[in-house]
């Protein structure tokens, strides 16, 4: 996959902020946190500047936000065939329960349900492992009977789904050497093997097509009654039709108030939803990437393929946003210098773009999150994913400033850097430059990293198979890391000094080699693509810089610390690894890509993992964060819309139950 999303880390980003969010907002991290449970905290985010938008843009945001809420059930079902059944059964018990709500069983069920809402299913949103209930099977069985919960499956199957740890154990199993299709619980395939899937799509590919279709992007693969492999396309009249019809309804309302070219863009997306035609999806992407004038923008559709073990099927997601014109200065500078960055990239000149086309980047304020962007959300997006569109028409990149601002505020004073970062000079640099470094790395990653380079003649882009996402994230991260330490960044006014790069490098290596393991159950491997990418980069640089002591493990007071001793040498290592990763992508070298990931990105040292978890747990902070959305209300005089009111929401449970009641359109089994 050629696009992706950078996820926020969980350390404090420091005080240096380029956010245009109201600086009078509270600096108390706790005031941004509205719920905490298990390994998760739920935050609020602000939407600064919404009230000042023209009325037609407010109305457009309202309609697009309605569409963004309509696909929630789709994602639940994509993640696992029985997710909607489990969610609805637990919600009925939760809302009907007449017993003591402070009893341990009910409180444990409430926590489990909160986790299901957050992950859009019964598997952890990052580790992909099935949740372990802390309430008993006997208790749940009694509640199902007492509150006469209607189930589309046998009650015992529901109980087994929740309590049998070996049944549907992982939503996404990417273990090398296994049948990833049959061993993954995601609902993109049913009754087919990995070999059958690969053959089905290999037979479709036209090797001579310069504009290859992303076959399988919007469908489930299964077998018909005769045993033939067939697709169930996600479209109006196809699979997920009831929800897609609602999405289409609100998109059509949006098209009614949108101006050109956005009106035509929305109508093309609607036509794609009606037909399921992937050529129409390509046409929509070409139009969308060419629109750099509209202040309000959106993502809506089957976009990212992280949830598919084969990297082909796309989860449903949506965001609605508008431009942060003040913060856009930095991305405008990056975009204006895109050709220089490409020409000077430390990669084989044959794999550089001779002419960088259509690179646009902006900082945005998100107004609504939906599907696979909710509650956990990216902090940066680069689209479209098709390599041929990126080559011929360019790409569009965004950094979501009000989200990074909320992360930063919520993390202040949590003690994370004091616990895990050994040197005071590193902590001081992060306090001063941390957020600026994070934001710029995201900008470079999305705007230039994903948009850089080109494939060798004859390479289509799917050759790296299950390793595609990890290696693409590695490539984009390396691009950002390498250039963040370039004097050019000071020259063009993006950073005051290379201390910004030093802050980012120290934080990145610490996270990749150590602190991100707080997100993983002891003894487990790294599975999520972004986490694998960070570990790959940090471990490779440590190994290849050993003889010069570029990165060093230090033991002090019985604690392990990782420190960067030579920032210049580390930057050179970033460049060397980028050279190789770009070669792997450009040539489709599957075996080299597989070896790189398996050698550096997957396994965790058990003793280090145990230590990280023990130290992290003592801090009392959660490694994962997500958000509740604000709401929007139309203000009318008669039939005329005279304003749109932004209504902050600060209750996680209420929002989730409201969405399940008012924005749920699919049957429990699809």
Which pLDDT score, from 0 to 100, does residue 23 have? 36
pLDDT digits (tens, 9 = 90+) for 590-604: 999 999 999 999 999
Give the integer Cα–Cα distance in Å for 165 and 276.
37
For 663, phi and psi rounded to 5 degrees? -125, 35
Instruction: Tell me which H or E stretch contains 322.
Output: strand 315-323
pLDDT digits (tens, 9 = 90+) for 349-399: 999 999 988 777 788 999 999 999 999 999 888 899 998 998 899 889 888
Of the listed ranges 361-375, 395-409, 542-556, the least confidently predicted one is 395-409
**Hey, what are 545's tokens?**
């810089």
User: Which CA distances in Å does 335 have to 6, 341, 441, 443, 572?
Assistant: 18, 10, 14, 10, 24
pLDDT at 218 exceeding the cut of 80: yes
Which pLDDT score, from 0 to 100, does residue 2 have? 37
Which pLDDT score, from 0 to 100, does residue 18 have? 34
Which pLDDT score, from 0 to 100, does residue 13 have? 33
Give the integer Cα–Cα distance in Å for 414 and 409.
10
Which pLDDT score, from 0 to 100, does residue 22 have? 38
| pLDDT band (50, 70, 90) for residue 28 | low
Predicted structure pTM score:
0.82
H-only helix segments in 514-554? 529-544
**Hey, what are 514's tokens?**
């150590």
pLDDT digits (tens, 9 = 90+) for 34-91: 999 999 999 999 999 999 999 999 999 999 999 999 999 999 999 999 999 999 999 9
| pLDDT band (50, 70, 90) for residue 12 | very low
Of the listed ranges 215-224, 493-502, 518-527, the least confidently predicted one is 518-527
| pLDDT band (50, 70, 90) for residue 410 | confident
Neighbour-count burial of 38, counting CB atoms closer than 10 A to its CB (0-12 exposed, 13-18 middle, 19+ buried):
middle
Which pLDDT score, from 0 to 100, does residue 451 have? 83
Which pLDDT score, from 0 to 100, does residue 372 have? 97
Give the up-direction half-sphere exposure of residue 436: CA atoms within 13 A in the CB hemisphere: 23
**Hey, what are 76's tokens?**
């639940």
Choose the most confident range, by mean pLDDT, from 173-182, 310-319, 403-412: 310-319
Gyration radius of the chain's alpha carbons:
24
pLDDT at 4 exceeding the cut of 60: no
Of the listed ranges 5-19, 114-128, 471-485, the least confidently predicted one is 5-19
Residue whose entry in the numeric block shows the structure tokens 């082909």? 312
The DSSP symbol for 311 reads S
Which pLDDT score, from 0 to 100, does residue 1 have? 37
| pLDDT band (50, 70, 90) for residue 423 | very high
pLDDT digits (tens, 9 = 90+) for 273-325: 999 999 999 999 999 999 989 999 999 999 999 899 999 999 999 999 999 88
User: Which CA distances in Å does 46 have to 282, 327, 373?
Assistant: 33, 16, 16
């Amino acid at each position: 996959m050629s696009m992706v999303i950078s996820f926020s880390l969980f350390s404090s980003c420091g005080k240096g902020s380029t956010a245009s969010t109201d600086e009078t907002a509270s600096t108390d991290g706790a005031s941004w946190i509205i719920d905490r449970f298990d390994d998760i905290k739920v935050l609020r985010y602000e939407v600064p500047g919404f009230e000042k938008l023209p009325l037609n843009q407010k109305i457009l945001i309202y309609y697009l936000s309605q569409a963004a809420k309509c696909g929630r059930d789709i994602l639940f079902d994509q993640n696992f065939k029985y997710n909607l059944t489990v969610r609805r059964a637990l919600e009925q018990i939760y809302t009907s329960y007449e017993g003591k709500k402070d009893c341990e069983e009910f409180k444990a069920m409430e926590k489990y349900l909160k986790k299901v809402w957050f992950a859009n299913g019964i598997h952890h949103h990052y580790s992909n492992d099935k949740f372990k209930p802390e309430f008993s099977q006997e208790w749940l069985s009694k509640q199902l009977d007492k509150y006469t919960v209607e189930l589309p499956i046998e009650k015992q199957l529901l109980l087994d789904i929740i309590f049998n740890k070996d049944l549907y154990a992982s939503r996404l199993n990417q273990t090398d050497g296994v049948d990833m299709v049959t061993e993954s619980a995601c609902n993109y395939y049913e009754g087919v093997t990995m070999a059958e899937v690969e053959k089905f799509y290999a037979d479709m590919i036209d090797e001579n097509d310069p504009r290859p279709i992303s076959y399988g992007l919007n469908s489930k693969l299964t077998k018909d009654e005769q045993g033939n492999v067939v697709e169930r396309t996600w479209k109006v009249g196809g699979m997920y039709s009831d929800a897609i019809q609602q999405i289409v309804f609100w998109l059509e309302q949006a098209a009614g108030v949108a101006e050109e070219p956005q009106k035509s863009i929305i109508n093309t997306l609607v036509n794609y939803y009606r037909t399921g035609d992937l050529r129409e999806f390509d046409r929509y992407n070409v139009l969308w990437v060419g629109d750099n004038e509209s202040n309000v923008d959106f993502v809506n559709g089957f976009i990212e393929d992280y949830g598919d073990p084969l990297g082909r099927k796309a989860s449903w997601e949506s965001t609605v946003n508008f431009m942060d014109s003040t913060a856009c200065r930095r991305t405008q500078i990056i975009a204006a210098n895109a050709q220089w960055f490409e020409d000077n990239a430390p990669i084989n000149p044959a794999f550089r773009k001779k002419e960088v086309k259509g690179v646009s980047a902006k900082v945005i304020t998100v107004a609504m999150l939906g599907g696979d962007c909710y509650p956990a959300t990216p902090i940066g997006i680069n689209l479209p994913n098709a390599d041929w569109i990126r080559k011929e028409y360019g790409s569009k990149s965004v950094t979501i400033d009000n989200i990074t601002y909320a992360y930063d505020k919520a993390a202040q004073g949590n003690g994370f850097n004091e616990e895990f970062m050994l040197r005071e000079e590193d902590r001081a640099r992060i306090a001063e430059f941390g957020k600026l470094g994070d934001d710029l790395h995201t900008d470079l990653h999305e705007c230039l990293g994903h948009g850089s380079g080109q494939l060798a003649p004859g390479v289509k882009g799917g050759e790296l198979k299950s390793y595609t996402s990890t290696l693409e994230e590695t490539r984009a991260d390396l691009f950002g890391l390498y250039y963040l330490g370039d004097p050019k960044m000071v020259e063009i006014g993006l950073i005051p000094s290379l201390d910004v790069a030093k802050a980012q490098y120290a934080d990145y290596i610490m996270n990749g080699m150590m602190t991100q393991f707080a997100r993983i159950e002891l003894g487990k491997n790294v599975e999520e693509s972004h986490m694998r990418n960070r570990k790959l980069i940090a471990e490779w640089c440590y190994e290849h810089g050993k003889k010069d002591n570029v990165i060093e493990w230090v033991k002090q007071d019985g604690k392990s610390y990782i420190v960067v001793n030579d920032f210049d040498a580390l930057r050179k290592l970033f460049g060397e690894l980028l050279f190789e990763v770009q070669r792997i992508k450009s040539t489709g070298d599957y075996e080299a890509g597989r070896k790189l990931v398996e050698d550096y990105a997957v396994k965790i040292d058990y003793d280090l993992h145990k230590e990280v978890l023990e130290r992290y747990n003592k801090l009392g902070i959660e490694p994962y964060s997500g958000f509740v959305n604000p709401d929007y209300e139309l203000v009318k005089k008669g039939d005329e819309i005279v304003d749109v009111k932004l209504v902050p929401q600060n209750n996680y449970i209420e929002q989730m139950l409201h969405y399940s009641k008012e924005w749920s359109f699919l049957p429990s089994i699809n």
